[in-house]
Structure 1
Amino acid sequence: MSKIAARDRLIFALDVPSAAEADRLLDRLQGHISFVKIGLELYTAAGPDMIKRVVGRGMRVFLDLKFLDIEETVRRATARVAAMGVDFLTIHANRKALTAAVQGREGSSLKLLAVTVLTNFDSQDLRDMGIQRSVQDLVAARALLASEVGCDGVVASGEEPAAIRQKVGPRFVIVTPGVRPAGKGVDDHARATTPTQTIAAGADYLVIGRPIRDAADPVATVTTIVSEMQAAFDARPI
């Protein structure tokens, strides 16, 4: 049986437009979640202070800002993120940006996750960008790049962990957004999967936002999701 505690592997995507709304949700979920994703919307509204408030609650922070810029900018920005006590940070899977982020987090416990292919992209989106590879092949190649330059893991959909594991092995962290409980809509995710499917495929952390945020009873929803996740982790070979 798995020794993984599912509650620690659920990352709640706190995608709300204000600090006040974030605090209201966190008040309701205090004691039921331990890991929070702060993305572009909330970070734009509330900035680093929101990170301090989440850390002050005893929760971990996944800062999903998808850095991509010249090396000096990425290096310095990553150093600032590390100093704020963030646990996970996303960087687009560009060799120069990833290398700069690895340099910027030196001496800290910050884990760097390369963004492979956004979960709302499909093969047609890649062709529109001039990329002729399949989504799965591109994700696997970018995961290998991230591993080679010293990143800790990747962000990828629930359809790709098996291909990633073939390239980078079992210890590389896979964080999967676009996870939807069975019977829920996929929203704007082109490659959505259920918690059970995602964990069985090999993902380590699941990012779930709207199904919890928009639920009539967010606590009950979290409880149901964590229960499903725990069963899936327990059923997965160690």
Structure 2
Amino acid sequence: MNSFDSSIETYLSNIHFAQFATRTIEAIADLYTFKGLVLVPVLWWMWFQQDERREWRREMVLATLLSGIVALFLGRLLTHWLPFRVRPVYNADLHLHFADSNIKDALLSSWSSFPSDHAMLWMAIATGIFLVSRSVGVLAILYTMLFICVPRAYLGFHYPTDLLVGAAVGIGITYVMTRDAIRVRYATLALRWIELRPGPSAMLAFILCIELVTQFDELRKLASGVVKNL
């Protein structure tokens, strides 16, 4: 572990709150309510705003959602492609004692910590919000940092560099996907189809947003189970 990660993780592991505060931090880190169910509704609010920039904003919302999906799946792929990195909470060589956690399951112990797919996904979404509205976007980015990234470092699920690299990649994906030259190639066409087919498009948007909020976890578990049985 590099000195940057070591100093921060050592500092965080020495901070121990009362049991109620620790359980609250665990809930914030674990529950979808404190992640996608905060940021995705902001995109819906932006979608239904009515002004002269309505079409551009809707294209940006579509580009942001696609950026989030790309960031999530790229993050999952990178954890398999890159060298395995043991999460701090499972690394006995660090001799660190993190706050007790009920979320230390077998899945996390066998899942590389680098990079953080949480940071990639939700910073990608927060960046899209920022590009549409600076004031709301600043709040979204701060929320992502304080309520999604920091708790995962505090509980020992990620090293700081896992989160920083994940956040940087997520920001980069959204920045590229929302550029005019790229966005118009898919978002404009998608928006035309949505206007022509409001019923099916609303249904698909509902399903997509649920899966994004839950980070496709159930579909991933289902696919994993099918593969194992085959």
TM-score tier by shorter-chain length is under 0.3
Structure index of larger Rg? 2
Which structure has more helix as a fraction of its residues?
A: 2
- The one of the two structures with greater contact order (alpha-carbon pairs below 8 A, sep at least 6) is 2
TM-score of the pair, normalised by structure 1: 0.22
Instruction: Give the strand-richer structure, 1 or 2.
Output: 1
